[in-house]
Chains A and B, each alone.
Chain A
Amino acid sequence: MINIQGLFHFMQSQSGKIFDELLQHIGLTFISLLIAVIVGIPVGILITRKRKLAAPVLGFTGILQTIPSIALLGFMIPLFGIGAVPAIIALFLYALLPIVRNTFTGITQVDQSVVEAAKGMGMTRTQILNKVQLPLAMPVILAGIRTATVINVGVATLASYIGAGGLGEFIFGGISLNNTNMILAGAIPAALLALFFDFLLSRLQKINLRKVRAAVWLLPVSLVLLSSFYLLPDFYRSKMIAGFTPEFMGRIDGYPGLKKVYQLDIRNVIISDAVMYKAIYENKLDVIDGYSTDGRLKAYNLQSLTDDKHVFPPYYAAPVVREEVLKKYPQLQDILNLLAARINDSVMTDMNYKVDYLKQSPQKVAKDFLVEQGLYKNPLMPGEETITIGSKIFGEQYILIEMYKMLIRGNTNLKVVTKTGLGGTKICFDALRNNQIDFYPEYTGTGLLVILQQPDSVISELGGDKEKIYNYVKDEFDKKFHLKWLKPIGFNNTYSLMMRKEEAARLHIKTISDLKNYLRKK
């Protein structure tokens, strides 16, 4: 599965970006660590003096630690937006517990008779702290900083979800794209980084007590130095900033395609689909990728740029079903095909708008549509047999699988289980192949480019033709995976680049070529 040569080749071709992301990763880790040290050590000292505060403070930082990292990053978005600031704050919160706790433990574990002696000799509280307590607690405090560093190197990979950069860009891009080399290009440097800093700090910890004074100076200096790494890549970057999903970043029909066909070169951050619309709306980004049927296009007043050189292939949605399932429940095929050619682009956009922006539930939108189309039937008594439907993690898929659920429940005695939010394409597809789900809605373009990963020659031969691609994908899936593509639902949810309407108008940008020309001008 892992092709070492391929990996080297990939890492070599991406070495510039890997280096940038590595610097950013180190920067993110250490800015937050530095703040955590600056805040955590005094807090740790404070709670040794005001013991009543110790339990609540340690409890609070402990609770912070238990919040799943992705959720903590999520909490940060409404408060601090996207980018470095919320990521640093989240990482800072994670680093806090080990530092506060170890400072507290380190100081309280100093032999009381030594502290008494220091006091008895007439040392002031500050002198006792600086000359006795902190030096003696230093190995324990350093252990805390070491733990926090390793945690931060790990959690910082998630920072790419909110556009803060770092090695996570490769990892999540790779997961979305089913690209092992890409995952490893992020994961290997991240793991080495964690090991490297862990080793350095373990050396520091073992330094003889005598030399602790030197270590005490070395630490803040190196922290500041490493923190500044975050700013480095920004020195050589351009005026507009784009936010792309990890998937778009890596797909041939995504940013790489734009680069190749349009020679588009734009400074970009990787960002989760969930926050990028808000970010562009708030002027934090200028260009984003999206789907042509996305309801938020309408909600956030965005302009879709015309793909004048036809980089984005057609993306017709259709259910992909396991062959055994169709054999076992032959009635299923007709039921699922009830939706065939029923939903066009504007209908889908409108439904997405209702879910994403008007916050109607996917169930309600799905039911309204089926009722209007005369397809809705009241659910029958469920039997023992179960059908499991999967979906990727966005609204359109939620609506589609709700419709399928209602259709199956209304026309058969099958029970239906839905597994929503299976992340990207890779996760859905693997779940299907491993019999964890029975079918999910997939797009022809994705099937061609992400799953089948056909060479350029095949793709150019198909020439962006809707029918040809559908038939090709259908045949290949059947041959290779024994998976059946049913009839397309009708709409074409292809990629598109989007800008704020007023900015696009101001800069006279209507097509992707216009965008490239604007960026070229400088």
Chain B
Amino acid sequence: MITLKDVVKKFGKTIAVDGVSFEVKDGENVVLLGTSGCGKTTTLRMINRLTELTSGVIEFDGKNIMTIPPEELRRNMGYVLQHHGLFPHYTIAENIAVVPRLLKWPDTNIKQRILELLEQVHLPETILALYPQQLSGGQQQRVGLARALAADPPVLLMDEPFGALDAITRNNIRKEFSGLEVLKNKTIVFVTHDVGEAFDLADRVLLMDQGKIVQQGKATELLFHPQTGFVSDFFSSQRMQLELHSVYLENILPFLQIAKEENNATVIDKKKSLWEAIELMQSDPTRKLKVIDTHSDEMKMVDYSSLFTGLEAFKTKSP
């Protein structure tokens, strides 16, 4: 769907993006991850030509984007910004209708589409006549998403869409977004500096530093097999939490002891993450859990110490 080949962007003498190449497949969610100033936002903005590239090629649907008029290109790519960028002088309904109006849809279609979108992003109809400043931050962000989705573009570009929200709202809305049905078959390029977001949303993570892609792959690959010191440092502050989130009980089953029959501990699904296992353990009086190994059809037992031993063993063993 989107291909970048050796893309470079210079602002004067500073090189913001230095030879970036990657491909985003149809329906794939790619997260550009990195610290501020690493070039991730610039890379995103070059895709819809808000920033013009200095050299290299970007293709959209097999066509060089430089051959497509920028306005037409942008109408095919929904764009969600950190500061929602809603028009303060437009009502919510008018805000959502901006792109359909640019495309000169008939009024009845626009109305219908607005109602559809409200449902999809879980907003009540009552807000339609309000102005953006009358909504909460989370609601504004959802309207921003609805607006980006209005003309059903195949691609969605999201530039730190939750960056301006407080931590609690951010977590809630992120969870909700990752579950939204409308986003399931969209091709999404998502920019963030928040590692948790990358783990939750990405099919593939591209970690950037100083204008270059340092490593790309599944989030767990980056976590467990960092190719450079930069990559492992990047995750270090949240490493334990990330590991517990991204390793599942089934991964450590081989390293667990068989449970004794008389044990009356709670049984947990092996598809659960270690993090969830710990949360459950804390509420169980025995501080132990049982899990069924479907391979050997044995009941295995897990407690704090076996869980962490298992995690260490998994890490050293896995390729």
- Chain A interface (Cβ < 8 Å from any Cβ of B): 111, 113-114, 116-124, 127, 131-132, 135-136, 209-210, 212
Contact = CB atoms under 8 A, between A and B. Distances in A.
Interface in B75-95: 75, 79, 81-89
17 contacts: A117-B85, A117-B86, A117-B144, A118-B87, A118-B98, A119-B50, A120-B48, A120-B85, A120-B157, A121-B74, A121-B79, A121-B102, A121-B147, A122-B73, A136-B89, A210-B89, A212-B89
B99 interface: yes
A212 B90 CA distance: 11
Contacts of A122: 70-75, 99, 102
A135 to B, nearest CB: 5
Given A121-B147, A136-B89, A210-B89, A113 B74 contact: no
B162 to A, nearest CB: 15
Contacts of A127: 102
A132 to B, nearest CB: 6
A116 B50 contact: yes
Given A122-B71, A122-B73, A124-B71, A114 B102 contact: no
A210 B90 CA distance: 7
A131 B148 CA distance: 18
Given A120-B50, A131-B87, 5 more contacts: A120-B48, A121-B98, A121-B99, A122-B73, A132-B87
A113 B41 CA distance: 14
Given A123-B71, A124-B71, A209 B85 contact: no
B81 A117 contact: yes
A113 B81 contact: yes
Interface residues of B, number: 25
Contacts of A135: 89
Contacts of B72: 122
Given A119-B74, A120-B79, A122-B75, A209 B102 contact: no
Contacts of B86: 114, 117
A209 to B, nearest CB: 4
A209 B72 CA distance: 29
A136 B88 CA distance: 8
A486 to B, nearest CB: 75
B288 to A, nearest CB: 52
Nearest to A123: B102
Contacts of B83: 111, 113
Of all A-B residue pairs in the complex, the 8 with the closest CB atoms, nearest first, are: A117-B85, A120-B79, A122-B74, A122-B75, A209-B89, A113-B83, A113-B85, A122-B71
A111 B81 CA distance: 13
Nearest to B76: A122
Contacts of A212: 89
B99 A209 contact: no
B92 to A, nearest CB: 13
Given A121-B74, A121-B98, A116 B147 contact: no
B264 to A, nearest CB: 57
A12 B50 CA distance: 66
Would you call the interface of chain A mostly helix, strand, loop, or mixed?
helix
Interface of B: 48, 50, 70-75, 79, 81-89, 98-99, 102, 144, 147-148, 157
Contacts of B82: 113
Q: Which of B72, B75, B79, B87 has the most CB of A within 10 A?
A: B87
B146 to A, nearest CB: 12
Nearest to B132: A114
Contacts of B144: 117
A116 B81 contact: yes
Contacts of A119: 50, 74
A418 to B, nearest CB: 62
A123 B81 CA distance: 16
A136 B86 CA distance: 12
Contacts of A114: 85-88
Contacts of B89: 135-136, 209-210, 212
Given A114-B88, A209-B89, A120 B81 contact: yes
Nearest to B74: A122
B130 to A, nearest CB: 12
A114 B86 CA distance: 6
A121 B144 CA distance: 11
Contacts of B85: 111, 113-114, 116-118, 120
Contacts of B74: 119-122
B137 to A, nearest CB: 14
Contacts of B70: 122
Nearest to B99: A121
A117 B45 CA distance: 12
A92 B83 CA distance: 41
B156 to A, nearest CB: 11
Q: Which of A116, A120, A135 has the most CB of B within 10 A?
A: A120
Contacts of A124: 71
A131 B82 CA distance: 22
Nearest to B95: A117
A120 B50 CA distance: 7
A12 to B, nearest CB: 49
A286 B50 CA distance: 65
A200 B84 CA distance: 35
Contacts of A116: 50, 81, 85
A123 B71 CA distance: 6
B199 to A, nearest CB: 26
Q: Which of A113, A117, A124, A136 has the most CB of B within 10 A?
A: A117
A373 to B, nearest CB: 79
A135 B98 CA distance: 15
A502 to B, nearest CB: 65
Given A122-B102, A127-B102, A209-B89, A117 B71 contact: no
A121 to B, nearest CB: 5
Contacts of A132: 87
